[in-house]
Structure 1
Amino acid sequence: MDARDFIKVGMSAERRLVVPPERTVGHFVPGMPMVYATPMMILEMEMASGDAIGAALQPGWVTVGTEVDIRHLAAAQVGATVRTTAQVIAVERRVIRFEVEAFEGTRRLGEGRHARGLINVELFNRRLAMTPGAGL
């Protein structure tokens, strides 16, 4: 399957999250500040990217994250509303590239690039099952 047939540059999505304590650095690392954790921001960027193209995917096909190049620019506290955006900037045969950003109001919290690979779930699971040590 060729993503260029159904994914178009400019497709986009946005997500909003009120930062809960369990998405903070301090939740994962005792003694650290209770501010929005970088991996959690990246998770929202990946989810927004998936949302941007999800409706265009054929049944049995999904995308998985393959690359992240993100800068975390500012902290957000528990209770802050974070808006995350993703926009398709390039489409290759099996790779979709995104520009991603995160904001609290107009303040930019993070920015960067993300790529997702197009996979057939059944074939992927079959290959995974044949891989020695898979699932350990």
Structure 2
Amino acid sequence: MDARDIIEIGMSAERTLVVPPERTVGHFVPDMPMVYATPMMILEMEMASGDAIRGHLAPGWVTVGTEVDIRHLAASLVGATVRTTAKVVAVERRVIRFEVAAFDGERKIGEGHHARGLVNVESFNKRLGAK
């Protein structure tokens, strides 16, 4: 499958999350503040990116994260409503590139780029089984 045949520049999605205590850096690292953790923000950015294109993939095909280039710009407290956006900005044969951002209200708290690779699940599982 060639992503250029099914994915278009501009496809987008967004996700909303109310920050729970278990998504804070203080949950993972003792004595750290209870603020939204960078890896958790990146997770939401990756998930929004997948959401933007998932419905266009043929059965048996998925995308997996392959690159992240993210800046976490500001802290968000437990209970904050964070909106994460992803938009397709480039499509290669097996790689889809996204511009991603996260907002706490109108304040941008994160931004960057993410890439996802197009994978045939059956072939992928066979390769993993051979290891």
- Give percent identity, aligned residues only: 81
Compute the displacement of 1:36 (Å). 0.1
Compute the displacement of 1:22 (Å). 0.2
* Consecutive unaligned residues in structure 1, runs of 5 or more: 132-136
* CA RMSD, 1 decimal: 0.3
Compute the displacement of 1:100 (Å). 0.1
1:24 partner letter: T
Compute the displacement of 1:114 (Å). 0.1
Q: Which residue number in structure 2 is paired with residue 82 of structure 1?
A: 82
- Describe how 1:38-117 pairs up with structure 2 within 5 A: 38-117=38-117
What TM-score comes out, normalization by structure 2 length?
1.00
Q: Which residue number in structure 2 is paired with residue 34 of structure 1?
A: 34
Runs of 4+ in 1 over 2 A off after TM superposition: none
Spell out, residue by residue over 1:52-107, the C-alpha distance to the aligned partner (whole angstroms, 9 max, x if none): 00000000000000000000000000000000000000000000000000001110
2:12 and 2:24 map into 1 onto residues whose CA distance is 26
Q: SS of the counterpart of 1:119? A: strand
2:37 and 2:129 map into 1 onto residues whose CA distance is 33
1:61 and 1:2 map into 2 onto residues whose CA distance is 11
1:57 partner letter: L
Q: SS of the counterpart of 1:55? A: helix
